[in-house]
Amino acid sequence: MEAHLDIQPLTGSLGAEIRGVDLARPLADAVLRDLRRAIIEHLVVFFPGQELSPQQQKNFTALFGEICQLPYIRPLDEHPEIIAVLKSPEERGISTFGGTWHSDFTFLERPPSISVLYALEVPPFGGDTLWANMYDAYETLSVGMRGTLDGLCAMHSGHVYGAARPPTHLKTSTSMDISRNNTEADAERAHPVVRLHPESGRRALFINPVYTTRFEEMTEEESAPLLHFLYGRATSPEFTCRFSWTPGAVAVWDNRCTLHLAINDYDGKRRLLHRTTVQGERPRSVAGRASELNATCR
């Protein structure tokens, strides 16, 4: 059966808007198949004008796999699978949740595959979110650089929730109940720098400025110049898309091949979204090795 989804790509790199589907209702198999295909093709898809109860958001998210309960962030009391991404009007001059380029919780052994973000309250302007295409970031590198990166692992840690590093100069949001100073969050975990996507079969860079600390067996100082170069490549304007939220809009993205960043330009306004997150698999290197095979990912 044809699903007849209306899919409009937003840029030449990633992102598409999808109309003609009500995410609050059970989806026909053909629709779900086409949605999955659209996420593989466009990496992040947007559904304006939805109306989802927390349970309906969970039902929709579970279509993509097991919903994970995230460490360190206090979820909704009634729905431990949902976190409220909130900045309130009185919070000025603070850093916001998701305000630096990242892929969700890459320090976990099985980092999230899909995330679903549903907008409840948004500022009249500002508060957009950016996504970046990590396939393009990889594929536009030279053959020599790709070959070098294919064999590398990088270390990831949840140090922003940890105790080892000095706090940043910016105050962080108090609207969200985030637990910090957790010593286990400082532990590093190795994942391949170039990740083989299990569904598309494509290679994507799998590093990010929030959770990646260094290349394996290199110091942070040694790693920083190359990481910095790669982040610059990954977030080149031509590899990004930008979404302006309206109440009821839903974004669904694939963390295995994208980065994202919430733009913090709406001091004095309230912004509230609900996020659900799907547990992913252990990242596989291009040699087909999963990062759990050894303590390190070699």
Question: Which C-beta is closer to ligand SIN: that of 84 or that of 152?
Answer: 84
Residue 275 annotated in active site: yes
Tell me if 111 contacts ligand SIN by CB under 6 A: no
Written as six digits, the tokens of 48 are 């304006």
- Alpha-carbon distance of 259 to 101, in angstroms, equals 6
Of 14, 21, 38, 85, the residue at the interface with ligand SIN (CB under 6 A) is 85
Q: Rounded to whole angstroms, what are the CA distances from 295 to 109, 208, 282, 291? A: 11, 21, 13, 8
How many residues form the binding site for ligand SIN (CB under 6 A)?
9
Q: Is 203 in the site for ligand SIN (CB under 6 A)?
A: no
- The reply to whether 15 sits near ligand SIN by the rule CB under 6 A is no
Q: Catalytic: 260? A: yes
Listed in sequence order, the residues at least 6 apart from 289 whose beta carbon sits closer than 8 Å to its beta carbon are: 192, 297, 298
Residue 84 binds ligand SIN, judged by CB under 6 A: no
| Residues 223-282 contacting ligand SIN, CB under 6 A | 260, 262, 273, 275
Sheet of 153-156, strands arranged across: 189-192, 153-156, 212-215
In contact, 275 and 116? CB cutoff 8 Å: yes
Closest distance of CB 60 from ligand SIN, Å: 16
Among candidate residues 104, 195, 254, 271, the one labeled active-site is: 104
Tokens 């996020």 found at? 275
Beta strand pairing status for 240-243 and 194-196? unpaired
Q: Provide, rounded to whole angstroms, the least separation between the CB of residue 182 and ligand SIN.
A: 19
- If one asks whether residue 283 binds ligand SIN (CB under 6 A), the answer comes out as no
Q: How far is CA 89 from the centre of its chain?
A: 25
Please classify residue 15 by burial: count the beta carbons closer than 10 Å to its beta carbon, then call 0-12 exposed, 13-18 middle and 19+ buried: buried
113 binds ligand SIN (CB under 6 A): no
Q: Assess whether 42 carries a catalytic annotation.
A: no
Q: What is the nearest approach in angstroms of ligand SIN to the Cβ of residue 58?
A: 16
For ligand SIN, the binding residues (CB under 6 A) are 85, 97-98, 117, 129, 260, 262, 273, 275
Q: Indicate which residues carry an active-site annotation.
A: 102, 104, 260, 275
